[in-house]
Structure 1
Amino acid sequence: MHFDKSPKEKPCCTLPTVKKLLEEKRRRETSSVPPSCSAAGTSPAPPNTVTQLSLSEPFICTGASSSYSDMAVSYEQWAPTQDPTPSFFPNLQGPSYATGYSHPMTDYSTQQQIPEFGDTMSQTFMCPMTVSDPSMASSWSYAQPSFTSMDTSKLAEARMLLSRMDHNRAAGQDEDGDTILHIYTAKGHREYALAAAEKLKEIGKLDAKEHKGKTALLVAVTANQTEIVQDLLLLGADTNACDVKGQTALHLASHYGFPAVLQVILSYKPGVNLEARNFEGMTPLHCAAISHSVTMKALSASGLVDVSLQTKASQKLSCVQMLLNGGASLHSQEIKSNKTVLHLAVKEGNIELVRYLLNIPLPNMKDFVNMKAHGHTALHMAAGLHGNPHQEEILRLLLNKGADPSIRNLENDQPAHLLQSGPQGDQFKLMLKKRNASSRRRNMSLQDQE
């Protein structure tokens, strides 16, 4: 949709849609760090040109695809851009636009380094959490982010600009469904995004969706614009709005591992639905667990001390912790295969997440550990971790928390039947056999007492 042009006029240039702005940003960044999740990228476009790019190839988390082919979720990476204001608003003139307008969001202290995508980060978040094991707190505890002061002069300028714009023009959408609010949000122009949000709120269009179903809030979340997320929520943006894949703000923040953004969203409960399901049947907690496993695999595959990946893994584990402390159910099962977050962690051999989950004090820990996912317990999945360096520790952790080696799956197999052959498998079988015998003696003793 073009503005202030007669039907016969041709646009002077290609519209800088949110899709194209974010694709250009991604193209400039993906060549710097090898991603653990695939993203299309080529060499940067020359300055002052608008490239014709397609997002037909979605950003897909392939790191877990071999194990999670039945539940893989595609996420498109959004990132803030420094481009000037939308050219399809030709009357938006002024010194800030003529000079390219550098906004205060550029130097956010809350921006993060995402190794997979090359975003920037300058600080580690600290967010006090209730941790079952105090010794674990230091590795992923985060402090509440402090928001920088808004530029009041720019806000006044933005409000003046929007006040001169009629409602139809302010709510107008381009061919990709982007409003000016979507574009200001994607760019990280906080003051102009706030002014545009106020204008759209007046006419009931604050939650307008673009062609991928993203509201401005979802754009702000995926672009890791913490302050804009807060501004939009304060104005009443729908916290449970979802895109065309059913992803809410919680799903996106959890997947990308943005603890500061997640904290802001969680502060708006009880309105936030912690058990919302995306169209793959997963809650935000499932997404956070899968995403953490992807980063842990990348960290393990690197074979080096990668500080950026370690930081990202810590942030993603913090998101798991924040969701659980916020009230997310540890027993929730994703719909396609009935896996809990424990099943997801064990299946990927994610020892760090397994340790954390099993260290949570639950009155019914034994029942939780023995929950089935299409017949398989977590112990069955641990038995199938052939060649994983953490297999023995995961087996022991599960057994110590009450995992039952006698439970059979739908094929009538006990965990011992799924172990690898050879000396190591024999050792694990003996461990399971001893625990099974010990459990039978304990049960018989309890029956005798009764």
Structure 2
Amino acid sequence: MSPAPWDSEPRAQGPTGPCGLQFRPRMDMAKLEEARLFIQSMDYRRTTWQDDDGDTILHIYTAKGQREYAFAAAERLQELGRLDSKEHKGKTALLVAVTANQPEIVQDLLSLGADISMCDIKGQTALHLAATYGFPEVMQVRGRERMPLSTCLTPLHCAVISHGATMKAPTSVQGRHTWLVSLCQLVLSLISQEIKSNKTALHLAVKDGNIQLVHFFLKQPLPDMQAFINMKAHGHTALHMAAGLHTSLHQEDIIRLLLTRGADPSVRNLENDQPAHLLQSGEQGEKVRRGRGTSLVGECS
């Protein structure tokens, strides 16, 4: 198949913002008018054409970050009732804009009526994707829109799961924490549990041995921190999970953090085990069992 006629248009350039994002609050109006004339010159078949991957002109311009051409294409597809057309992975142009970390295009598409509730073939909404990839600017664009949570993982759970990968991105620690704070404020409280396993964000962070996130979550001003820490996921509290971190360098520190914030070492799981029963055998297990601030001695019975 020959290349689409719009595929060779030059990418719009702008000043680079945080994380390498090209950030231009205002569109180039001359370029927008040029784009509108170009789109209007197309007949219906060319405007609604989808390539072998199901991409429309809007998907392509959005993925490339060509804001003015994306806006003009979105206006035309809106008129034709095709603004939320999906490509082969079930992504609308809005979902592509989120994945490509294009907050201005996200805002443009929302302003034109793009459906914020649409999911891809994995059931991920725009907010799930923004959380998974760790794009704070896209998260903030969402503003006051309400996003349905149609998958068993909430966006906060997606953020926690993806945090390890995000840590490798060229973003400051403060920036990552700002992203998580925004996520907590915009979506759900920390006590939300994933449907399938009943894990909270804290369970996931502990299971991953992610001491930074554990520390971050335990600093949040929850009305009943002790109840949150002792929530169970299939019978396991976060302390049970921490006791099972036999190969983690942060096991002892995570246990200490949980205990100092109210974790109950006497709670039993479905197998009637207390956290101390799940510690590794040998010298390291005994060290954790009797360590200062982590002592679980006397809790097993």
TM-score, scaled relative to structure 1: 0.62
Post-superposition shift, 1:111?
Answer: 6.2
Mapping 1:259-270, distance limit 5 Å: 259-265=136-142, 267-269=143-145
Judged with a 3 Å threshold, the aligned counterparts in structure 2 of structure 1 residues 312 and 403 are, in CA distance, closer, same or farther, namely same
Q: Which residue does 2:161 correspond to in 1?
A: 290
Cα deviation per residue 1:170-208 (whole Å; 9 max; x = unaligned)?
122223221111111111111111000001111211111
SS at match of 1:433: coil
CA contact (8 A) 2:274 2:299 kept: no
1:393 to 248, 253, 278: 253
Post-superposition shift, 1:312?
Answer: 6.3
SS at match of 1:245: coil
Judged with a 3 Å threshold, the aligned counterparts in structure 2 of structure 1 residues 263 and 348 are, in CA distance, closer, same or farther, namely same
Judged with a 3 Å threshold, the aligned counterparts in structure 2 of structure 1 residues 317 and 183 are, in CA distance, closer, same or farther, namely same
CA contact (8 A) 1:207 1:237 kept: yes
Match status 1:226 vs 2:133? no
Judged with a 3 Å threshold, the aligned counterparts in structure 2 of structure 1 residues 327 and 246 are, in CA distance, closer, same or farther, namely closer
Q: Which residue does 2:284 correspond to in 1?
A: 424
CA contact (8 A) 2:156 2:187 kept: no
Q: Which amino acid in 2 is paired with 1:150?
A: M
Post-superposition shift, 1:336?
Answer: 2.6
Q: Which residue does 2:74 correspond to in 1?
A: 197
Q: Which residue does 1:253 correspond to in 2?
A: 130
1:109 to 16, 19, 27: 16
Q: Which residue does 2:185 correspond to in 1?
A: 325
Cα deviation per residue 1:44-70 (whole Å; 9 max; x = unaligned)?
xxxxxxxxxxxxxxxxxxxxxxxxxxx
CA contact (8 A) 1:369 1:377 kept: yes
Judged with a 3 Å threshold, the aligned counterparts in structure 2 of structure 1 residues 365 and 315 are, in CA distance, closer, same or farther, namely same
Match status 1:210 vs 2:87? yes
CA contact (8 A) 1:334 1:340 kept: yes
Cα deviation per residue 1:34-92 (whole Å; 9 max; x = unaligned)?
xxxxxxxxxxxxxxxxxxxxxxxxxxxxxxxxxxxxxxxxxxxxxxxxxxxxx334xx6
Between 1 and 2, higher relative CO (CA 8 Å, sep ≥ 6) is seen in 1
Post-superposition shift, 1:436?
Answer: 4.9
CA–CA distance in structure 2, aligned partners of residues 234 and 295 of structure 1: 29
Cα deviation per residue 1:277-320 (whole Å; 9 max; x = unaligned)?
43xx2111101001113445xx6xxxxxxxx55x2665444332
CA–CA distance in structure 2, aligned partners of residues 292 and 435 of structure 1: 36
CA–CA distance in structure 2, aligned partners of residues 101 and 374 of structure 1: 54
Judged with a 3 Å threshold, the aligned counterparts in structure 2 of structure 1 residues 252 and 314 are, in CA distance, closer, same or farther, namely farther
Q: Which amino acid in 2 is paired with 1:361?
A: P
Q: Which residue does 2:204 correspond to in 1?
A: 344
Mapping 1:59-70, distance limit 5 Å: none
Q: Which amino acid in 1 is paired with 2:163?
A: H
Judged with a 3 Å threshold, the aligned counterparts in structure 2 of structure 1 residues 181 and 435 are, in CA distance, closer, same or farther, namely farther
CA–CA distance in structure 2, aligned partners of residues 375 and 396 of structure 1: 21
Cα deviation per residue 1:107-145 (whole Å; 9 max; x = unaligned)?
452362xxxxxxxx269xxxxxxxxxxxxxxxxxxxxxx
1:382 to 242, 248, 256: 242
Q: Which amino acid in 2 is paired with 1:421?
A: S
CA contact (8 A) 1:292 1:317 kept: no
Mapping 1:431-446, distance limit 5 Å: 431-433=294-296, 436=299
2:147 to 266, 269, 272: 272
State the number of aligned residues.
297
Match status 1:88 vs 2:4? yes
Q: Which residue does 1:34 correspond to in 2?
A: none
Q: Which amino acid in 1 is paired with 2:121?
A: V
1:412 to 272, 278, 283: 272
Of all paired residues, the percent bearing the same amino acid is 58
Q: Which amino acid in 1 is paired with 2:258?
A: L
Q: Which residue does 2:42 correspond to in 1?
A: 165
Structure 1 unmatched ranges of 5 or more: 1-10, 14-86, 113-120, 124-145, 300-307, 438-450
Judged with a 3 Å threshold, the aligned counterparts in structure 2 of structure 1 residues 426 and 229 are, in CA distance, closer, same or farther, namely same
SS at match of 1:411: coil
CA contact (8 A) 2:62 2:70 kept: yes
Judged with a 3 Å threshold, the aligned counterparts in structure 2 of structure 1 residues 165 and 268 are, in CA distance, closer, same or farther, namely farther
SS at match of 1:147: coil
CA contact (8 A) 1:288 1:316 kept: no
